[in-house]
Amino acid sequence: MRQKTALIPTLRSVAEAEMISHQLLLRAGFIRQVAAGVYTYLPLAQRVLNKISTIVREEMDRIGSQELLMPALNPAELWQESGRYDTYGPELVKLQDRHDRRFILGPTHEETITDLVRNAVNTYKKLPMTLYQIQTKFRDEKRPRSGLLRGREFIMKDAYSFHADRESLDEIYQDMYQAYVNIFTRCGLEFGSVEADSGSIGGKGTHEFMVFSEAGEDKIAICTSCDYSANIEMAEIVIDETSSANDETVAPIEKIHTPNIKTIDQLATFLQVGPNALVKTLLFIVDEQPVMVLVRGDHEVNEVKVKNIMEASTCFMADEQTIRNVTGASPGSLGPVNVKEKITILADQALRGFAQWHIGANQDDYHFLHAVEGRDFEVSKYADLRTIEEGDKCPRCGGIIRFQKGVEVGHIFKLGTKYSDAMKGTFLDANGREQMYIMGCYGIGISRTLSAVVEQHHDEGGIIWPEAISPYAVHLIAVNMKDETQRNLAEKLYKDLLHAGVEVLFDDRPERAGVKFKDADLIGIPKRIVVGSKATENLIELKSRRSGESQEVNADQILTLIQK
């Protein structure tokens, strides 16, 4: 490609971009914003996307996954059938056609694929079957940000597998896991896989592929001694050996006046104890039912764990009005004693050893001291309910947990029969009996991967593409196009490279050398050939964008040097 006519609108400065990848992609002329969270991929970005897609296709095909393409526009009925039309939330883009028929723009395609397969595949003989597509997805994010890292429209690879039995699912899941490792490795990313929550898609057994980066919005808990890593939503807490003996006699429960004490910190100061000696009481609405959750004062409740313990599909904190209705008090004065309504009371396992609890009295400005579980109130269930913290023990090896930020670029799930149940996806087994498909689904954010690569591969001057996904293999720069010798040599090299099948971007613009070099640094093509004043001696420069090292070589050698 000749840069003279290429659409590569580089910029000197960019406001309104926080993330490095966002900034560089804008400045280097890869993307342009069209609306909040919506971007045009300019020619350079499109080339990178194609490279990433090619890698993805190769690895998918290698494990026997077949590519297809489903519509972005989907009838609401399918989503009503699975129930997600109502439960997916406001991120689902809904629209209507001229006849008032309702549609959604797909944020993911379990419904569409299940509908396809239930109609087109009805015998075990075709199983297992894995299908994938690379396509634009839509999610109406409440707050799009970070450029391509969190857009409202983005490119995703999504694969779905259908199985007659669990073992088959486990096998494909393993294949996918390996394929994902291959894909992200080939893209030049430093990444890890972590245990994760399945979110609204449902199902058990899932891994997220996280690219380590400060730009990430996800927190990962990592063990400093072993290779354990998990999304902090999922990371299990190991039970510390129960601390205190329970046979000590505890004073009778006592109500004390605690005016204007609303937080654990205030109560800790008031009582002259540490927050870890107190019990925090929160009210959640889990599948429409109020559930009281108790954790140690210095711990944080993990909503995902609460949801999972209750085997529920939704879980969020109750609003103040609901709290008042259920407990009779406002936030800051809640406790498990004398709850107005009879509700489920969950307690974190760390509280099991508490001989006496200091808790809210369900009456504004009052707390109870010396409450005893079993005497003054009942806990429905003890469980692991808190969020892991830095410094906690690793659930595998007992080492120390640290947090790291990451960008989720891939996610694989074992879905089970969630969708085949909801949508009656069945096939006939060897005995002629109807069976539900067991399903898996596997996603990769293609456009997000592009952005994640930039997060990991750049310097002050711009992007540094890994060779495997660079928009071009070689950047050929003619320092001075007005110099006939330089121009002729550069033109000859350009033709030779093209002829040899090398992807080359040729900077033939009538710009000054400085401009060309700055742009080349920004764009980040790994190999650079500079044709300059030594052209008279048939000498050119071969430079590495990453290391900055350059060597002077005879122009006749260039093809062999480039191709090795």
Per CB under 7 A, residues contacting RNA are 10-18, 27, 33, 35-37, 142-146, 262-265, 280-284, 295, 297, 300-303, 316-320, 323, 331-334, 360, 387, 461, 479-480, 482-483, 512-515, 517-522, 530-534, 541, 543, 550
The helix (H) or strand (E) run that includes residue 195 is strand 191-195
Between 7 and 430, CB nearer to RNA:
7
Backbone dihedral region for residue 57 (phi beyond 0: left; psi -120 to 50: alpha; all else: beta):
alpha
How far apart are CB 320 and RNA at their closest, in Å? 6
Q: Where are the alpha helices (DSSP H) in 226-381?
A: 264-271, 303-309, 320-327
Separation of alpha carbons 405 and 191, rounded Å: 11
Beta strands 93-96 and 401-416: pairing type?
unpaired
How far apart are CB 17 and RNA at their closest, in Å? 7
How far apart are CB 32 and RNA at their closest, in Å? 9
Q: Which amino acid is at 192?
A: G
Between 240 and 552, CB nearer to RNA:
552
Burial class (CB in 10 A: 0-12, 13-18, 19+), 317: middle
How far apart are CB 127 and RNA at their closest, in Å? 41
Between 81 and 483, CB nearer to RNA:
483
Between 261 and 502, CB nearer to RNA:
261
SS3 172: helix
Nearest residue to 475 (alpha-carbon basis) of 434, 404, 531? 531
How far apart are CB 292 and RNA at their closest, in Å? 9
The dihedral sign for the CA sequence 76, 79, 81, 83: negative
Between 54 and 533, CB nearer to RNA:
533
How far apart are CB 244 and RNA at their closest, in Å? 22
Between 153 and 175, CB nearer to RNA:
153
Separation of alpha carbons 133 and 159, rounded Å: 6
Separation of alpha carbons 339 and 337, rounded Å: 6
How far apart are CB 373 and RNA at their closest, in Å? 18
How far apart are CB 435 and RNA at their closest, in Å? 40
Between 70 and 295, CB nearer to RNA:
295
Separation of alpha carbons 286 and 272, rounded Å: 34
Question: What SS3 string covers 391-406?
Answer: CCECCCCCCEEEEEEE
Between 85 and 270, CB nearer to RNA:
270
Q: What is the DSSP letter of 305?
A: H
Question: What SS3 string covers 491-535?
Answer: HHHHHHHHHCCCCEEEECCCCCHHHHHHHHHHHCCCEEEEECHHH
How far apart are CB 55 and RNA at their closest, in Å? 29
Between 259 and 514, CB nearer to RNA:
514
How far apart are CB 161 and RNA at their closest, in Å? 33
> Which residues, listed in sequence order, are joined to residue 41 by a DSSP beta bridge?
31
Beta strands 527-531 and 474-478: pairing type?
parallel
Between 533 and 560, CB nearer to RNA:
533
The helix (H) or strand (E) run that includes residue 55 is helix 43-62
